[in-house]
Structure 1
Amino acid sequence: MIHVKKLDIFIAKQFGVLFVGAFFICQFVLMMQFLWKYVNELIGKGLSVEVLAQFFGYMALILVPQALPLAILLSALITFGNLGESSELTAIKAAGISLMQAFRSLIVIVVFISLGSFYFQNVVGPNANMSFARLLMSMKQKSPELEIPEGIFYDGIPQCNLYVQKKNVETGMLYGIMIYRMTDSYEDAAIILADSGMLQSTAEKKHLVLSLYDGEWFENMKSQEFAGSASVPYRRETFVRKKIVLDFDADFNVADAGALSNNSRGKSISQIRHDIDSLTHVYDSIGRAFYHDMRRVSWALPAFSAKDSLRAVKMASTKSFNIDTVYNRMPEEKKLEAVNYAMGQVRSAISDLDFKGMITSDGDRIIRQHRIEEINKFTVALSCLLFFFIGAPLGAIIRKGGLGVPVIISVLVFIVYYIFDNMGYRMARGGMWTVWFGKGIALAVLSPLAVFFTYKANNDSVVFNIDMYRNLLMRLLGLRLKRHVSFKDVIIETPRYDHDVEVLERISAEISEYSRSHNLLFAPNVVNVFFRYSPDNSIAVISEELEEVIEDLSNTRDPKILTELSHYPFMAVKAHTRPFERKWLNIVAALVVPVGIFLYIRMWRFRLRLYRDLRAVRHSNSVIVRRIRQMKFEGLRR
């Protein structure tokens, strides 16, 4: 029997409560983002509450697999961030429980969530996607509600353009009406002008009744018997009151699902694999038929007999044959006939190839979409496990709970995942990448990140130490901090002035010798730097001795010495000698020309900076030595 520890239950409860809340938050955010995509199909259609409820219900079901990974990432971050912030994670590790043991219960939960996500995508998701696609198609086909604007032509009514100069919202009256009606063509157009009117819908919502007052009707009488006539008769009618019935289907009808047979998102894995086999068989048959058609194509000119064709072939096999000569000997009408025939053949061949290419490319696109959807069901389920191994270690590393830092990190990680996943999907759909590579690139990019964070968190390694990254950046760019030596209120040991003077004088002599022998003002030898480097630790030794003297003299109470100690620079002890410690890295950097040039210029800059630093050190040494001797002389006089 499996023994469940209290720690597992405690962490599972913490994660479960946060996961439920994070899931609904992520679901709401994704629905709002998804809603903007279809906002044009919702506004102005007069949809019933029942239809809108179905729309949002199907949308919520479709977005469940996308919300699960983000909810796992956010809840795992907050869970272990709270444990780290309240020092509970420290107590767990102090009890001898490793981080992976603390993850144990949540790993089991996330595995079940991943399996549930896969089941949801394979069983519930296809039905929801198919129902949503049918509903969306019906919404697009539904005519919009009557919302006649002022001052512009409204074309929401079929075969009619309506212009209203002014309208009364309370009474529904329209003023300054101009209507252009077109039935079959522009010759049958009718223009209606009216002083005022009112537009109403019939009870069955299939027609509109337009009541017009004080107006005129102009209509062309173009018909078949006047087709050859240059003049077009028309009629003109003046009316005081007139009613016009317009076709306008404002009801909602559910579309047929037959047009959605190629919707890969509305199919389970078994259906996708079955349809891929069927589509592959169909389009392979079409390809073979196209191949046999091309083999049967004959390009022989009908104007030539069989004897002429054989003669032409025989002439073509000799070097004396010239097609231009044959063409120039032909009569003008034959030349025109030959050119027209050739152009017709070329256009026919191009049109035929374009049509066949469209059919085959459309088949390839449909098959790719089915394969993308098949792999997508696995990748989305695996992303739940991936996001857990990113969120949980990150929470243990940053040790920040709440909705501040975890939300920011979750959004950044999800944006990176979404960019790679969307890019891979588009490249795979377009055929530029293979399907498995396009749908797996997001997981491939973030998996090393998950392994890295898990390893660092399990070993308590420092990852987000700002000071470490700042020091690394300053070293890379050659920046440094200023030294500040302050007065100590309590001094345990007094400085060893005689020893410090001796060391400072020796350091000054070594600095002078080093500057003279190494010519720091001149550019370094490229060969010696990258290919023939010999170790140079002189500055490292000098810097170490100097830091010991500075540490000893910082215990003094003399303000002049303390001030001069702050003037000592922090010296880079090796950056002026070579780019890297290992010889092979220097050789590789030299072979990669842009990198080698950057490192060479950077090293030259450090040589010049070291020259200035050595001058400053030598000057400060002399000042401090004189001050110590002055203090000793004043002590003897007393």
Structure 2
Amino acid sequence: MFILLLQTIWLFISELAGKDLDFAVIIKFLTYATPRLIPMVLPLTILLTSIMIFGNFAENYEFAAMKSSGISLQRAMRTLAVFIFFVGIGAFLFSNTVIPSSERKFVNLRKNIVKVKPAMVITPNQFNDLGDINIRVSEKYGDNDQFLKDVIIHKKGARLGNFTVIKATDGELQGSIDSDLITLILNDGNYYEEVQPKSPKKKKKLPFAKTHFKQYALNIDLSSLDNVDMDAQQYSKGYNMLNVNGLREQIDTLSIQVNDEINATEDDVNRRNGFKELNRNLKIDTLKKATKDTLDLIEDRFNTKQKSQIYNLAFSNADGVIRRIQTAKRSLEVKKRALNKYEMSLHDKYALGIACVLLFFVGAPLGAIIRKGGLGLPIVIGVVLFLTYHFIGIFAKNGAEEGGVPPFVGSWLSTFIIFPLSIFLTYRATRDRGLASFDIVVQPIRDFFNKRSNKKDRINSSSIDQEINIEIGQNTLVEVEKDRTNFKENSSLVFTLFLLLLIVNIVITLISKDAGGNKTMLLVFNGLGGVSYLTFFIKSYFNLKNFYTKLKGLINEPSLILFLILGIPLFPIVYFFYNNRVNKDLKKIR
């Protein structure tokens, strides 16, 4: 939580620094920013703590003691499961009440902080709203960033539209603390103004005025910004600022607007083309057959000038219809994107509580299976699982926002994926089974690779066993079994990571539409997963090497170079073969 809060401070530090804000305002800022982190922090906390606690119990044989006393794993999880159920309900209530309120206050506080020092609003390479102008600069420099380079200004006026543009090579902001005016000195530029005559004929000529200046002073009135109320709330309709009831009302409103836009576009297109007038006052002689098509009739009845006018009119009407449809399409895309955001925000409130419960049933049995507590392996497994859950949710929401998948799927996809995983892990843990059993798949592969070697082993097994049992000591046997156990655990984890990375990449590739954003997220996920994959792959290699080093000269050692070459790209094949080989070689020395 603290790390994510620091990330929030780093993200918005430019809005806080250098604005002479009170300490109370900064505390408000951080307080309002904290609840938005709960949907990420709470599921991660539940997953990590459940893995660590139950892994610690299993590592210290607490579950063995419980089972000897007649307490099953289900009974041990029962109280915590009830507690997590109420935590899930609390998470829903929190996301429905506290988060919308804090988000509304957070957004409005940011807007009000921006008004304290308008000069800080000017961000390079984008248009910034400053008083009665919109200003864009390519660079700010100087001790107080008062010097501006490549200035473009759009002045606001009484008329709706952009009619006045000022461009300058550079500029300087000047002002004093006691003054309500800030002066922008522009150097070496041009002043453009579009003239709007009343006569329609003159409007067609698109008249404008252009003036070149060496220096131009523009005064900006800041008197309205003297008394900024930090608690003022002007923005309250954002999709993350509403509770369930507010979201449903907004969804209904946007749905009506989308339907009205579609109907209005359809009526407008029909009116432009006159489709509704086609069947009016139309008399059809069913006995008379048309001998000429429409173009032939135009050729016969009208002269060249009239035909040109008819064709131009038809082209103009068609072009107008196309433009109208394109405009409506862009408008509908914006409204549908907003509608998708509101629908996903509604589903997210329910999905958060369900995810908390399911992640507990993923973490608790997983900790009991891996039998590792503390801050080592459980942290790695928990973070990898959560990143998978989180990234799938992000990719699904990106696809849903663009309309690639329904908003319901975008919000619930990651939860749907961990649901069968929670059932599977709970089932395996309650029956004292390992993380996975691949005997159905592995057995045919084992038979294929070991068909010849098994015949030879059956002939010489007794003599080999006697020879090895004589030459190997008890201490060496214990160390060999330890290496075999470590190899099995690490290789199983590598196998799981391999399948996880493969499945996530396939799923994200299928559901994603935004190639740019998803490519970055995939790189981050594959980078983190790849580091974990290589780490445990190397550990499993050294476990395997130590195993056969202690048995050197006693049994035939398989090729470890093959393990390295095929292991990284084709680990499932290596996993099945070498685990089977290690188990078989271990039986020879027992």
TM-score by length of 1: 0.57
Partner SS for 1:265 = coil
Check conservation: 1:390, 1:454, Cα contact below 8 A.
Answer: yes
* Counterparts in 2 of 1:207 and 1:162: CA distance versus 1, 3 Å: farther
Amino acid at match of 2:240: R
> How many angstroms apart in 2 are the aligned matches of 1:347 and 1:361?
21
For residues 345 and 396 of structure 1, the distance between their equivalents in structure 2, rounded to whole angstroms, comes to 72
The equivalent residue for 1:635 is none
Contact kept, 8 Å, 2:137 with 2:150, in 1: the verdict is: yes
* Counterpart residue identity of residue 399, structure 1: R
2:293 counterpart residue number: 322
Q: Deviations over 1:78-134 (max 9, x none)?
A: 212222333333322332211111112211221121111111112222212222233
- Equivalent position of 1:81 in the other structure: 55
2:303 is aligned with 1:331: yes
Kindly indicate whether the alpha-carbon contact (under 8 Å) linking 1:219 and 1:234 is maintained by their aligned counterparts in 2: yes
Question: Counterparts of 1:184-203 in structure 2 under 5 Å?
Answer: 199-203=174-178
How has the CA–CA distance of structure 1 residues 369 and 179 changed in structure 2, closer, same or farther, with 3 Å as cutoff?
closer
Query: Against the structure 1 CA distance between its residues 324 and 42, is the aligned structure 2 distance closer, same or farther, given a 3 Å change threshold?
Result: farther
Q: Is the alpha carbon distance of 1:479 and 1:324 closer, same or farther for their aligned partners in structure 2, counting shifts above 3 Å?
A: same
Change (3 A) 1:208 1:163: farther
Rounded to whole Å, the distance in 2 between the matches of 1:275 and 1:188 is 37
Partner of 2:2: 28
Larger radius of gyration: 1
1:55 matches 2:26 = no
Q: 2:42 is matched with which residue?
A: 68
The match for 1:273 among 248, 252, 260 is 248
Change (3 A) 1:355 1:36: farther
Which residue number corresponds to residue 90 of structure 1? 64
Show the 5 A alignment for 1:355-504: 355-463=327-435
- Quick one: which amino acid aligns to residue 414 of structure 2? A
Does structure 2 retain, via aligned residues, the 8 Å contact 1:44–1:145?
A: no
d(CA) in 1 for partners of 2:105 and 2:148?
A: 44
User: What is the percent sequence identity of the aligned residues?
Assistant: 22
2:396, 2:409 within 8 Å by CA — same for their partners in 1? yes
- Specify the alignment match of 1:547 in structure 2: 461
1:356–1:232: structure 2 CA closer, same or farther, 3 Å change rule? Answer: closer
CA–CA separation in structure 1 for the residues paired with 2:174 and 2:193: 28
C-alpha distance in 2, partners of 1:427/1:563?
Answer: 55
Residues 37-186 of structure 1 aligned to structure 2 (within 5 Å) = 38=12, 41-42=15-16, 48-139=22-113, 144-145=118-119
- Alignment check: 8 A CA contact 2:184 2:219 kept: yes
**CA displacement 1:551-594 (0-9 Å, x = unmatched):** 2344679xxxx999746999xxxxxxxxxxxxxxxxxxxxxxxx
Q: Does the 8 Å CA contact 1:46/1:144 hold for their aligned counterparts?
A: no
CA distance in 2, matches of 1:186, 1:454: 67
Measured in 2, the distance between the counterparts of 1:282 and 1:180 equals: 36
Single out whichever of 417-426 and 175-184 deviates more from structure 2: 175-184
What are the equivalent positions in structure 2 for 1:547-586 lying under 5 Å apart?
A: 547-554=461-468, 566=555
Give the gaps of 5 or more residues in structure 1: 1-26, 481-536, 571-597, 607-638
**AA aligned opposite 2:428:** K
Number of paired residues?
464
1:141 & 1:379 partners in 2: Cα distance? 37
Cα distance in 1, alignment partners of residues 342 and 314 from structure 2: 42
CA contact (8 A) 1:55 1:135 kept: yes
Does the residue aligned with 1:432 lie in a helix, a strand or coil?
coil
Aligned 8 A contact 1:153 1:164 in 2: no
Answer yes or no: is the 8 Å Cα contact 1:44–1:144 preserved in 2. no
The two structures have a TM-score, normalised by structure 2, of 0.61
8 Å Cα contact 1:110/1:385 also seen in 2: yes
Is 1:354 aligned with 2:354?
no
Gaps of 5+ in 2: 157-161, 196-201, 472-550, 560-569, 578-590
Which digits, 9 at most, give the CA deviation of each residue in 1:206-254, with x for residues without a partner? 4226899xxx999989999xx99x999989999xxx9985545776566
How far 1:453 sits from its partner (Å)?
1.8
CA distance in 1, matches of 2:208, 2:338: 53
Go from structure 1 to structure 2 and tell me whether the alpha carbon gap of 1:448 and 1:164 turns closer, same or farther (over 3 Å shift): closer
Distance 1:29 1:567, change over 3 A: closer
| Secondary structure of the corresponding residue to residue 208 of structure 1 | strand
RMSD: 5.6
Q: How far apart, CA to CA, are the structure 2 residues paired with 1:66 and 1:372?
A: 16
* Alignment-mate amino acid for residue 42 of structure 2: L
Structure number with greater CO (CA < 8 Å, separation at least 6) is 2
| CA apart distance, 1:51 | 3.7
1:137/1:350 Cα in 2 relative to 1: closer, same or farther (>3 Å)?
farther
